[in-house]
């Protein structure tokens, strides 16, 4: 491995590590879900399907999408809520007196942009857009994932209804159905719990060397300090 | 702070496009589902028990033979199924399908060897699933 490659891997190790974990987990989910689907089909006296058919099925799509939407909702809410809400003592929070969108000087935009600032930070409509671009992208991916969940979940729900010799329901009815909201809320509650837990536990507990923790010796009351 | 990386977002967007195409895939199997259901009712109408049984799911054939204690081709004709009438609508979701006729409803399932009729001569019930004269165990 060349020096340039080693440097690239080291400097992007966080993205690469989680990218590989994502890919491996998705492959594992695909195989486990495929086997579970076929086991259920056989138990019902129905036909089993190949891996390719399962990967393009509504069952696989809804299982993936319902988890994705909650993750991107978590990021979107976290990004926007931490503009206005703070938590004393938490490294997840900014300093208590910085509530709000902060000044142009603080944010290095417009006349305060530096030589190496992104070009869209130099003022005008581009800066207004760029100032919320991360939350916008997270929000769009959340809405897209949730929409996919609603369509794939509807198809999967109707497949089960037809197996039980019941009429299918319309997509509109499915949006008010307990199956849609159970899938949605069971993912939301776990995301919200994780965020709240991290924000509070990080006040009192430490992980030496982690960017997500305060330095080990930092005071519990210190707010907005990353390790 | 929890942070998202650009490459993760790009991966997510690509994945979403795939998911949308999968979920939005129109049911191109309506024609095949209708053909199999029609062939079953046509075979019953022409008293061709063998052809009717060829359109049935394995579990349905087994249930018919066990309950009638006779080969499927005889058992299906002894059911004296009513005519189905004109096709009203076809609904396909994954490996299952419903074909509604004017006077009857059939449920089908997809196997590796193709679509087969899982239940036929089904009548809707006010509450609960359809009541089917022919169905799998």
Q: What is the 3-state secondary structure (H, E, C) of A42-109?
A: HHCCCCCCCHHHHHCCHHHHHHHHHHHHHHHHHHHHHHHHHHHCCCCCCCCCCCHHHCCCCCHHHHCC
Chain A interface includes B64 (CB < 8 A): no
Using CA atoms, how far apart are residues A207 and A227, in angstroms rounded to an integer? 9
Q: Is the ipTM of this complex over 0.85?
A: no
Q: How high is the pLDDT of residue B84?
A: 78
Please, which pLDDT band fits residue B13 given cuts at 50, 70 and 90? low
- Is the Cβ–Cβ distance between A74 and A191 less than 8 Å? yes
User: Of B12, B28, B76, B29, which Cα lies nearest the Cα of A69?
Assistant: B12
Residue B4 has pLDDT above 70, yes or no: no
Mean pLDDT value of segment A202-210: 96
Residue A225: beta bridge partners?
A: none
Q: How high is the pLDDT of residue A176?
A: 98
- Is the Cβ–Cβ distance between A175 and A184 less than 8 Å? no
Higher pLDDT, B102 or A139: A139
pLDDT in tens, A75-87: 999 999 999 999 9
CB contact under 8 A, B136 and A72: no
Is residue B108 in some structural domain? yes
Residue B24 has pLDDT above 70, yes or no: no
Q: How high is the pLDDT of residue B17?
A: 57
A110 three-class SS: helix
Q: State which residue of chain B sits closest to A68, comparing Cα positions.
A: B12
- Is the Cβ–Cβ distance between B43 and B51 less than 8 Å? yes
Q: How high is the pLDDT of residue B19?
A: 52
- Is the Cβ–Cβ distance between B83 and B93 less than 8 Å? no
Is residue B97 in some structural domain? yes
Using CA atoms, how far apart are residues B120 and B76, in angstroms rounded to an integer? 11
Quote the domain boundaries for residue B48: 27-135
Q: How high is the pLDDT of residue B21?
A: 52
Residue B26 has pLDDT above 60, yes or no: no
Identify the weakest region by mean pLDDT among A63-72, A135-144, B121-130.
Answer: B121-130
In this prediction the pTM is 0.88
User: What mean pLDDT is reported for chain A?
Assistant: 96
Q: State which residue of chain B sits closest to A56, comparing Cα positions.
A: B22
Is residue B41 in some structural domain? yes
Is residue B94 in some structural domain? yes
Q: Compare CB distances from B4 to A55, A60, A138 and report the shortest one's residue.
A: A138
Residue B16 has pLDDT above 70, yes or no: no
User: Of A170, A146, A161, A162, which Cα lies nearest the Cα of A62?
Assistant: A146
Is residue B16 in some structural domain? no
Q: How high is the pLDDT of residue A214?
A: 95
For residue B128, the domain's CATH number is 3.10.450
Is residue B112 in some structural domain? yes
Higher pLDDT, A2 or A172: A172
Look at the block and give the residue holding tokens 């430490």.
A206
Using CA atoms, how far apart are residues B99 and B89, in angstroms rounded to an integer? 6
Q: How high is the pLDDT of residue A87?
A: 95
Q: State which residue of chain A sits closest to B63, comparing Cα positions.
A: A45
Number of domains in chain B: 1
Please, which pLDDT band fits residue B18 given cuts at 50, 70 and 90? low
Domain assignments of chain A as residue spans, ordered by start: 1-55, 57-227
Using CA atoms, how far apart are residues A47 and B95, in angstroms rounded to an integer? 8
Is residue B65 in some structural domain? yes
């Amino acid at each position: 491995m060349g020096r340039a490659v080693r440097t690239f891997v080291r400097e992007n190790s966080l993205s690469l590590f989680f990218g590989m974990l994502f890919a491996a987990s998705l492959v594992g989910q695909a195989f486990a879900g495929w086997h579970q689907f076929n086991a259920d089909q056989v138990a019902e006296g129905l036909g089993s399907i190949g891996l390719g058919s399962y990967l393009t099925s509504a069952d696989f799509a809804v299982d993936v999408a319902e988890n994705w939407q909650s993750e991107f909702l978590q990021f979107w809410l976290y990004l926007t809520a931490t503009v206005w809400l703070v938590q004393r003592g938490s490294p997840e929070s900014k300093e208590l007196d910085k509530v709000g969108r902060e000044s142009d000087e603080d944010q290095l935009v417009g006349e305060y942009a530096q030589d190496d600032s992104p070009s869209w930070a130099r003022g005008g409509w581009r800066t207004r857009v760029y100032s919320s671009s991360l939350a916008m992208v997270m929000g769009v991916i959340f809405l897209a994932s949730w929409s996919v969940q609603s369509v794939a979940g509807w198809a999967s729900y109707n497949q089960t209804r037809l197996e039980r010799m019941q009429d299918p329901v319309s997509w509109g009815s499915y949006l008010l159905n307990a199956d849609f909201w159970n899938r949605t809320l069971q993912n939301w509650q776990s995301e919200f719990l994780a965020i709240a837990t991290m924000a509070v536990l990080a006040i009192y507990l430490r992980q030496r060397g982690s960017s997500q923790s305060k330095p080990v010796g930092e005071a519990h009351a210190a707010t907005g300090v990353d390790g | 702070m929890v942070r998202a990386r650009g490459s993760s977002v790009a991966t997510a967007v690509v994945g979403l496009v795939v998911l949308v195409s999968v979920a939005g895939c129109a049911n191109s199997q309506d024609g095949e589902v209708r053909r199999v259901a029609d062939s079953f009712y046509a075979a019953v109408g022409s008293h061709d028990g063998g052809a009717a049984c060829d359109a049935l799911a394995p579990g349905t054939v087994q249930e018919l033979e066990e309950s009638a204690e006779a080969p499927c081709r005889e058992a299906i004709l002894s059911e004296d199924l009513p005519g189905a009438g004109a096709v009203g609508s076809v609904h396909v979701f994954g490996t299952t399908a419903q074909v509604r006729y004017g006077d009857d409803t059939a449920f089908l399932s997809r196997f590796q060897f193709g679509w087969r009729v899982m239940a036929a001569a089904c009548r809707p019930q006010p509450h609960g699933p359809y009541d089917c004269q022919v169905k799998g165990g």
